Amino acid sequence: MTEPRYARLMAKVLQRIAGEVKAPTPAQDARGILEIERALMAARRRRQLTVFGAGGASVAAAAAAAAWVLFIEQKPLEPSAQANSAQANAALGQVVNVLAHANGAGVQLRVAGHEQPLTEDAALNPGAAIISGPNSQATLNLSTGTRLMLATRTQFAVEQANAMQRFQLATGSLHAKVAKLGKSQRFVVATPDAEIEVRGTEFDLSVLDHPGQGCEGSHTLLRVSEGVVEVRAAGGVQRIAAGQRWPANCDLDNLTPNNAASTAAVPTQERLRRGGVLRPAPAEPTQSAGGPQPATDEAATGEAAARNSHLLEQNDLFASGVAARRAGNTQAALSAYGDLLARFPNSPLAENAMVERMRLLKKSDPAQAALEAQRYLSRFPNGFAHNEASAILKEHEAKQGGQ
């Protein structure tokens, strides 16, 4: 066989033309650290679940399910035969146990028309409802591994808890992280004007007091972070993928940071995926005395959990923008980046989000791109995309001049 001389020589030439490595910007550093933190927390969660799943499943009483859920919260690294049994039962689609945990005083448990304060963790049977107050939230752990976090002023009821897990969100907001379901299992949340069905995904769902602009009269607002969610409303069925929202035009892009902060109906400001605690998230985390305080019973981890919640939320928004952009859904991507900028204007990811918006708009709406470029340059005069923004502006001005 011929000695591949030219291939060898060409490799030598190519070896000498390595590109120049650019130093990352502080915003890129911040994003990188966020990603790693997020991956570490995910790894920790996975490890906890793996420990539970590692033991052999045996027959156990259904009552053990409540103990299992408690166990996850309190001693996640110690396996329990009871826990495994409960999990196995749940996986078989028999009884799904729902355990409610109040975060803050003022959560009410309603059973058979009677309300009482939820002071201790309580198992919810079908028919039971949880009502959170203006300063309290609640977390619901299902024996399937699903976790529901109810925001303030939320009314949520369990309708069915077996192979069909059916709930009702009458008012307020929730964040759901739904575990993978078995073939015969279903997970449905009904709102006054829609029904949401998912299979192993993550989403935010709210019932608005008054439909917002562009919400097509819908009181329900859904935003999907992961997987696909089916929405049934007004006789129609739609599939909403990760990074998308429903109704599609019901977005928060036009909200300024101030009114975003004051809009109580905006649900996803109240979201936390960690530690079993849900806290109202401010529009921008600050050190002001009036900001939300971590729960005192979690002094050791509360601060870290709260900090991570904001970081995670910012990162989630950015990630959903990236996912939507990759999926070719420019509107959803613009919307996600817009949310991030509106709710966390001083986020370390703000610069990246502005640049992403500018790039997306450059293709779809050059005039808007020029506006975005102008905003970017005024805010980040020495930003990493300075040249790009200037070029967009110049191009736009040239076009305007030509006309």
Of the two residues 8 and 114, which places its CB atom closer to another protein in the complex?
8
Question: Cis omega (within 30 of 0) on the bond before 247?
Answer: yes
CB 287 → another protein: shortest distance, Å?
4
Rounded Cα distance between 334 and 332, Å, is: 5
Of the two residues 17 and 59, which places its CB atom closer to another protein in the complex?
17
Quick check: 86 and 65 in contact, CB under 8 A? yes
CB 46 → another protein: shortest distance, Å?
9
270 burial via Cβ count (<10 Å: 0-12, 13-18, 19+): buried
Residue partners of 5: CB distance under 8 A and separation at least 6:
none
Amino acid occupying residue 151: A
Of the two residues 33 and 63, which places its CB atom closer to another protein in the complex?
33
Residues that bind another protein (CB under 8 A): 1-2, 4-22, 24, 26, 28-41, 43-44, 47, 285-289, 291-293, 303-304, 306-308, 310-311, 322, 347-348, 352, 359
Rounded Cα distance between 263 and 44, Å, is: 34
CB 1 → another protein: shortest distance, Å?
7
CB 103 → another protein: shortest distance, Å?
17
CB 278 → another protein: shortest distance, Å?
15
Of the two residues 97 and 316, which places its CB atom closer to another protein in the complex?
316
Of the two residues 10 and 92, which places its CB atom closer to another protein in the complex?
10
CB 167 → another protein: shortest distance, Å?
31
Of the two residues 53 and 214, which places its CB atom closer to another protein in the complex?
53
Cα angle 186-90-161, degrees, rounded to a multiple of 5: 50
The DSSP secondary structure of 16-56, one letter per residue, reads: TTPPPPPPPPHHHHHHHHHHHHHHHHHHHHHHHHHHHHHSP
Quick check: 281 and 302 in contact, CB under 8 A? no
